[in-house]
A and B are shown apart, each in its own frame.
Chain A
């Protein structure tokens, strides 16, 4: 019950971040929207891990956090190099 409510709130936050990803006036706005979506995916996996055998979800969450960090830093280098 509680995890269902939490998952619904996380999905709503991801929808808001996706609206910013489509609308964002500049490129850094879109980059931070993608970054927030990655964080919300990690949060979703952490909430989903509360069942039995949930430790597998936490491995995936750590991996997605790593990939999201590398992607954000690469985008930052690109934005800085482009202008």
Chain B
């Protein structure tokens, strides 16, 4: 039973990572590609780590899985924000179907 749950979580996490690769290839501009790739690094890796911790319920595995998960949850948001801010300030072109453009301009950005 435990092996079934762990295997299902592993397959779900690998599917999410594969979908991130497909989204990285197929999405039309930078920000939609980031939307696809940051899902993989939080949800996909979270599923893989949960599956590993269920399959090996030992202290050495669970502690390392928890620390990798917490670290990725923290740093993915920070690095995605840094890249999106730099790209928005440097004027990366948007998809032609974009309706609302709320990117800040260089003059109104006070802390830059």
Interface residue ranges, A against B (CB under 8 Å)? 2-3, 5-7, 9-10, 12-17, 19-20, 26, 28-29, 31-33, 35-36, 39-40, 42-43, 46-47, 49-50, 54-55, 58-59, 61-62, 65-66, 69, 72-73, 75-77, 79-80, 82-83
Contact = CB atoms under 8 A, between A and B. Distances in A.
What is the interface of chain A mostly: helix, strand, loop, or mixed?
A: helix
Contacts of A77: 82, 86
Contact of A79 (B64, B79, B86): B86
A5 B11 contact: yes
A42 B18 contact: no
A10 B17 contact: yes
A37 to B, nearest CB: 9
What is the interface of chain B mostly: helix, strand, loop, or mixed?
A: helix
A80 B21 contact: no
Interface in B65-85: 65, 67-68, 71-72, 75-76, 78-79, 82-83, 85
Given A6-B14, A16-B25, A62-B67, A28 B87 contact: yes
B95 interface: no
Contacts of A58: 61, 64-65, 68
30 contacts: A5-B11, A7-B14, A13-B17, A13-B18, A15-B21, A16-B22, A17-B20, A17-B25, A17-B37, A20-B24, A28-B30, A32-B30, A32-B34, A32-B83, A35-B37, A35-B41, A39-B20, A39-B72, A43-B17, A46-B49, A46-B68, A54-B61, A55-B60, A58-B68, A69-B75, A76-B82, A79-B83, A79-B86, A80-B86, A80-B89
